[in-house]
Amino acid sequence: MVFIHDTQRSLAAAAHLVNTLPGFDDEDALTSGEDLEAFLSAHPYTGAIRRDEAELEALRGIRSRLRRLWEVDREHAVPLVNDMLRDGHALPRLVIHDGFDWHVHATSDDAPLATRILVETAMAFVDVIRSDQYDRIRLCSADDCDSVYVDFSKNGSKRYCDTGNCGNRMNVIAYRRRKARGTV
């Protein structure tokens, strides 16, 4: 595993949340209670979850801020991460619950969900930065996709996001180009 389990989980959740932003040709995928449920069932959170309008708005509101982490390099991520920790009043402590092994919570369980996700993402990026693995924080290589992902593969060779079918789609396009050129 490239990152420790809770870091990996937090990064995956943050990437999912960022990818609900409207992209090149897809629509905003976090506009309703149903969308929120889909996100929460993919990434279960303990602690207070209100499932109301304000919570949905707050989650929608942190997405661009989280996305910035995918648009900068390691050095420029540092102030962003530090700001998130400060704004979320992060106070790390070790906890164990619900079948997870010991891991870090840096907010109280009754802090707003958006604050918890902001801080949890920042804590995960602390790990990414400290372990010098920022090159695994990536934007999809497909021409027509701007989704984000984190490369958890062993050899760091993942090129496409998980949201669409980008790898297959780009392979088909490349094959057609080669075929048109008569090189297949």
Q: Tell me the residue ranges of DSSP E strands in 24-133.
A: 93-95, 103-105
The DSSP 8-state label assigned to residue 4 in this structure reads -
Quick one: which H or E segment has residue 125?
helix 113-130
| 20 interacts with Zn ion by CB under 5 A | no
The DSSP 8-state label assigned to residue 21 in this structure reads S
Considering only the stretches 11-19, 57-65, 85-93, 142-150, report the one whose residues sit in contact with Zn ion under the rule CB under 5 A.
Answer: 142-150
| 15 interacts with Zn ion by CB under 5 A | no
Tell which positions 155-184 bind Zn ion, by CB under 5 A: 161, 166
Interface with Zn ion (CB under 5 A), residue total 6
| 12 interacts with Zn ion by CB under 5 A | no
Considering only the stretches 15-23, 55-63, 114-122, 154-162, report the one whose residues sit in contact with Zn ion under the rule CB under 5 A.
Answer: 154-162
- How many angstroms separate the CA atoms of 45 and 62, rounded? 17
Q: What's the distance, Cα to Cα, between the start and end of the chain in Å?
A: 37
Q: Which residue in the set 15, 84, 137, 142 belongs to the binding site for Zn ion (CB under 5 A)?
A: 142
Query: For residues 78 and 169, which CB has a smaller minimum distance to Zn ion in the complex?
Result: 169
Q: Tell me the residue ranges of DSSP E strands in 15-173.
A: 93-95, 103-105, 137-139, 148-150
Q: Which amino acid does the sequence have at 170?
A: M
Considering only the stretches 7-15, 32-40, 86-94, 146-154, report the one whose residues sit in contact with Zn ion under the rule CB under 5 A.
Answer: 146-154
- Footprint of Zn ion (CB under 5 A): 140, 142, 145, 147, 161, 166
